[in-house]
Amino acid sequence: MVLEATMICIDNSEWMRNGDYSPNRFQAQADAVNLICGAKTQSNPENTVGVLTMAGKGVRVLVTPTSDLGKILACMHGLEVGGEMDLAAGIQVAQLALKHRQNKKQQQRIIVFAGSPIKHEKKLLEMIGRKLKKNSVALDIVDFGEEDDGKPEKLEAVLASVNSNDTSHIVHVPAGPNALSDVLINTPIFTGDGEGGSSFAAAAAAAAAGGVSGFDFGVDPNLDPELALALRVSMEEERARQEAAAKKAAEDAAKEKGGEQPTTHDTAMTEGPSASASEANEKKDDLMDDENALLQRALEMSMDDTTSSHDLRDTDMSEAAADDPDLQLALQLSVQEGTKEGNDMSKLLADQSFVSSILATLPGVDPNDPSVKDLLASMGNQTEKKDEDKGPNEDEKQ
Amino acid sequence: MSAESASGIQKGLVDLVDFIDWSGVECLNQSPVHSLPNALKQGYREDDGLHLESHADEQLLIYIPFSQVVKLHSIAIIGPEEEGPKGVKFFSNREHMGFSNVSDFPPSDTAILSEDNLKGKPLILKYVKFQNVRSLTIFIEDNQAASEITKVQKIALYGTMMETTDMKGLKKIEDH
């Protein structure tokens, strides 16, 4: 949310006709400029952005710093490509335009797109950089297009002479499959030193790139919060159920030894997340195909999950409560906690060894008693049935 | 100390640090670590460990607005012998100057600081030029030893207030 006035220096020289960025360098640059303008004006409504071109007949200011996004985008139309870029003059004119900004409280920033070879000497560029630093103007450089000998060094030298406190940045974008704007979105040029425009940038990325972005479920929470929330909830339920099932499986194996509580917990935990991670990936693919159907299924599964866990808890409560008032109180308290945590409690109660140890301490209960054994076996069956359901589901998805 | 207080508190002069409008204070080309409040603010400026330093080169441009209109009598600029300021220009009531337009108009006053000044002897300004000061711009052009960095330990401004209307004191005339 830094209050900033920005001047963007566009390279519209002959070198921009090249098609190594799609569709051509100039178009890629224009897209990036549009995105930057949007990000700046969104991060703070009082921000202003101006645009100038560096090549053609000479340096020409297309629009002086303004907060009107429409005006800025309009002036990007009908730009002609030709001539040679004059970097030094471009930066100096940009500095002058910033000096005469209306709101003197704004920080000054220049963003330069350097796509063609630089004909100036390094010394001259360093001098310009120092002047910018003296007048507290920050400079962002986008090095793309021509890969000239000495161009990266010159640009790095300029950056070094301007930079004070890491307010200035440089980004080298080689030609490749990724669009120029996509590469820039993750850089500090967009994210503004770690705050501000990142939410806008992320939203723009999701919209532009068609959903394959850094979001958990391929859905932008800004665009569709309800869907994102439902997906997140069902994912968590699924993960918890996974953990319970995995824990059950691990603990069944260790049941003869009378399994130590903490170790089974740990192994179950490590198995749980890895299983749920693969789950998450599969879920993502499904969502791409058929969101509604999957959402339905996820919700159903989570509904089943909660009802079954409730059953578990209820049976335990009635069995133990009958025998020992202290235990009853303890179980009540722990179940209350459990309702907050949800499935954690059911996991604990599902752990046979834990339950059997509790029951063993009860005065009237004998673990070898057939009815107790039946109860424990039934708990085991319920979680095993869940395992079976999970098995065919995973096979289907694969 | 007594010499300073004698020169500072003569003819009802006060230290104008209380009238500085801190929200508008600016300094161009200052080092991010050693910044203007170190030299200007009460308490910081007395501390020998804190000073103002220039960044990219040896020049400094300091802009000080006041919350009230003041009359400026003298300025004390204290700094180290070697890197302390030498050529200084003062501009009254010029907003938002930059290094490029310091030579565009004549300063209200200029001074070359001597060693005595750097130790605490205040510079007496052309009083007639500073009768009606809303803001002061100090342009430090170079330093004593012509080194890369200029250091300033303390800047103290002495003067008097103008009799201006105190808006808070305005009261509605009550009907009897």
Q: Residues A144-178: pLDDT tens digits?
A: 998 888 899 999 999 999 998 889 999 999 988 88
pLDDT, tens digit, for every residue of A45-56? 999 999 999 999
* Separation of alpha carbons A380 and A383, rounded Å: 5
Residues of chain B positioned with their CB less than 8 A from the CB of A104: 95-96
* Model pLDDT, residue B97: 87
The answer, yes or no, to whether residue A376 has pLDDT greater than 80, is no
Q: What average pLDDT does this structure show over B137-165?
A: 88
**Consecutive H or E run containing A132:** helix A122-134
Least confident of A103-107, A242-246, A282-286, B17-21: A282-286
Instruction: Decide: B63 and B92 in contact? Cβ < 8 Å.
Output: no
Q: Which of B21, B25, B57 to mutate to test the interface with A (most CBs of A within 10 A)?
A: B57
**Consecutive H or E run containing B158:** strand B154-161
| Subunit contact A134:B56, Cβ cutoff 8 A | yes
Q: Strands A48-53, A60-66: parallel, antiparallel or unpaired by DSSP?
A: antiparallel
Question: How many contacts (CB atoms, under 8 Å) link A and B?
Answer: 26
Q: How confident is the model at residue A379 (pLDDT cuts 50, 70, 90)?
A: low
| Subunit contact A130:B57, Cβ cutoff 8 A | yes
Instruction: Decide: A247 and A350 in contact? Cβ < 8 Å.
Output: yes
Q: What average pLDDT does this structure show over A273-294?
A: 50
Least confident of A236-250, A317-331, B116-130: A317-331
pLDDT, tens digit, for every residue of A71-114? 999 999 889 999 999 999 999 999 999 999 998 889 999 999 99
Residues of chain A positioned with their CB less than 8 A from the CB of B95: 104
* Model pLDDT, residue A278: 45
pLDDT, tens digit, for every residue of A239-268? 889 888 888 888 877 665 554 444 444 444
Percent of chain A with pLDDT over 90: 36
Query: In sequence order, which residues have a C-beta less than 8 Å from that of residue A237 and are 6 or more positions away?
Result: A298, A301, A302, A305, A306, A342, A343
* Model pLDDT, residue A247: 86
Does the structure's ipTM exceed the value 0.95? no
Identify any residues that bridge with B151 across adjacent strands, giving them in sequence order. B53
Q: How confident is the model at residue A294 (pLDDT cuts 50, 70, 90)?
A: low
Residues of B with a Cβ under 8 Å from any A Cβ are 28-29, 32, 55-57, 59, 95-96, 98-100
Q: What average pLDDT does this structure show over A220-226?
A: 71
Identify any residues that bridge with B63 across adjacent strands, giving them in sequence order. B26, B137
Residue A134 touches partner B, C-beta closer than 8 Å:
yes
Chain A, residues 37-76, CB within 8 A of chain B, namely none
End-to-end CA distance of chain B: 54
Residue of B nearest to A96 (CA): B100
| Subunit contact B28:A135, Cβ cutoff 8 A | yes
* Model pLDDT, residue B9: 44
